[in-house]
Amino acid sequence: MICVAAATLCAGCGQAGEVSGERVDLPEISGCKVTDGDTIRCGDERVRLLGIDAPEMPGHCRPGRNCAPGDPEQSTDNLRAAMKRGPLHIERHGKDHYGRTLAHLYVGGENLACLQLNSNNAIYRRDWDKPKLRLVGECGEESVR
């Protein structure tokens, strides 16, 4: 792995690229509201957290889909509370078939997907963990089982 100056992008280098816990190497995004435990809306942009699946709000689990277990209200509230901790930084990775931006989101240097996993408000989805199993490194082995 090659890490460049602290304020520049550092792919796969852990905490480099952070100053005082903030991801200064990533653009800040604002005006965001939580849709559910793994999706937010920032203006016209819908953003889906990569690597996790949170419980669906009532009536949103399509027939035949194996939806994440748990309390959707608690998961949503947990994500909402986490987003109030400080500026939100985004790392975009394309779009899904619903037109949502697929991204890693950070508050205070912490990946919000890891926060959801560590608080048992989402389940890990290895097949959705892009790029290259990012959450395994950022969240730790315990979180992604």
List of domains in the chain: 28-144 (2.40.50.90)
The tens-digit pLDDT sequence of the chain (145 residues) is 233 233 333 333 344 344 445 556 899 999 999 999 999 999 999 999 999 999 988 777 778 888 888 999 999 999 999 999 999 999 999 999 999 999 999 999 999 999 999 999 999 999 989 888 889 889 987 788 7
* pTM metric for this prediction: 0.80
Beta bridge pairs of residue 88: 29, 107
Q: Phi and psi for 81 in degrees, rounded to 5?
A: -65, -40
- Asked if residues 104 and 113 have their Cβ atoms less than 8 Å apart, the reply is yes
Question: In degrees to the nearest 10, what's the CA dihedral of 86, 96, 55, 89?
Answer: -10
Which residues, at least 6 apart from 121, have a Cβ–Cβ distance to it below 8 Å?
37, 54, 55, 70, 71, 74, 75, 78, 79
